[in-house]
Amino acid sequence: MALHFEILGRFNRARAAQLTLPHFVCQTPLFMPVGTQGTIKGLANNELERIGCQIILGNTYHLALRPTSELLEEAGGLHNFMNWPRAMLTDSGGFQMVSLLHLADITEEGVTFQSPVDGKPMLLTPEESIQIQNRIGADIIMALDDVVKTTITGPRIEEAMYRTLRWIDRCITAHKRPHDQNLFGIVQGGLDPELRDICVKGLVDRNLPGYAIGGLAGGEDKDSFWRVVAQCTAALPEDKPRYVMGVGYPLDIVVCSALGADMYDCVYPTRTARFGTALIPEGVLKLKHRAMADDTRPIDPTCPCMVCKNYTRAYIHCLVTKDAMGSQLLSYHNLYYMMRLSRNLHTSIVEGRFPKFVCDFLQTMFPKGDVPEWVCNAMEVAGIDISSCCATFPSCQEKYSSDEIGTNRFDKVKIEI
């Protein structure tokens, strides 16, 4: 395996680790910005390094269309092509089964997409996905999985889960660079705990370098979301990284980290920046709002980033309504916020003050004590007392026994999903 995962500290389920990859030594928990076609919109690579970005994510489907994996291979891989010295992860293209469903036809062989570039059909099989990712050369590559929305019910969920397990074997066979690149499997199964268990067991039996929890952050309710994360993290190996795909809301990341997850990715921080919204400890700040026009404060007075040190809300308000520079500055700030959150999660776990960090985070975001019930329930399972920052803390003892709280097992019988 082309990685080394060392746990440096823990609090119950939560853990802080050092993840050594071919191109970089990373500290977890960590957030990965999404650079679909080899770029984070609005930011140069030296800026990404400056704010502490450790891994960026590229997308196999889009990179195969443009600039093509053949060109990337000729250039010495995506690292050389985009001059990025740190770690990289490529998604398999499976997510496009959901996002481009109107262009896709899914069979046992693979997925046939209608190219949005020229309209020509493109067959993406597990073998082709891995071959493309081997050419791209990312530190972590994802197995092609059969992805369905979590809001879908019925036999399609079971079909997709079993197909995901069949496809992982084809991915393993096709993978020609196991000493340079780490193949992660993806747990599917929708919101069905039995299907999730089957998928976890099947993937763990294959002894992969790491594991992802897929099929979430797609419209399911938050109560279902955290329970699937809790179930999967409890069953996945302790000595391997756990990656919750598509998660980018700061609150979700704090909750998932408390439940034992390590890695996250999402377009949210940069996409919301392009709409004029900044991430702050209290939640979000909408810079397009008229009230920002004469506000001479920084976006976040507690933030040491270049944007908060040098620009006011009023200045950025003028830009976001007229100039691309506004979205660039907000993208910089938002990604700095996410990197700072990742560092604070890691440090608080290592230094043994994770519960205090969680309480401070929640008190700032919910000063009236109106912490969502799903967060309260998740934290009780994680073994973290947040009663001091909740106006009313609902008792979960009818759902969770004292033996379950803060352990690495999640008893789905006692929790109705």
- Binding-site positions for Zn(2+): 303, 305, 308, 333
105 is catalytic: no
Where is 9: in which H helix or E strand?
strand 4-11
Give the span between the Cα atoms of 367 and 383, in whole angstroms: 22
Give the span between the Cα atoms of 284 and 299, in whole angstroms: 10
Give the span between the Cα atoms of 18 and 24, in whole angstroms: 10
121 CB burial (10 A radius; 0-12, 13-18, 19+): exposed
Give the span between the Cα atoms of 285 and 207, in whole angstroms: 44
| 3 state DSSP class of 46 | helix
Q: Is the peptide bond before 67 cis (omega within 30 degrees of 0)?
A: yes
Alpha-carbon Rg of the chain, whole angstroms? 21
Judge whether 142 and 187 are in contact, CB under 8 Å: no
Question: Binding site for substrate, residues?
Answer: 91-95, 145, 188, 215
91 is catalytic: yes
Name the amino acid, one letter, at 344: N
Question: Binding site, residues?
Answer: 91-95, 145, 188, 215, 303, 305, 308, 333
Task: Identify which of 2, 15, 83 has the alpha carbon closest to the alpha carbon of residue 259.
Answer: 15
Name the amino acid, one letter, at 350: V
Q: Pick the catalytic residue from 146, 262, 265, 300.
A: 265
What letters, b where the CB count within 10 A reaches 16 and e where it falls short, cover 12-27? bbbbbbebebbbbebb
Give the span between the Cα atoms of 56 and 53, in whole angstroms: 7
Q: Pick the catalytic residue from 91, 146, 252, 300.
A: 91
CA angle 5, 213, 165 (to 5 degrees): 100
Annotated active-site positions, please?
91, 265
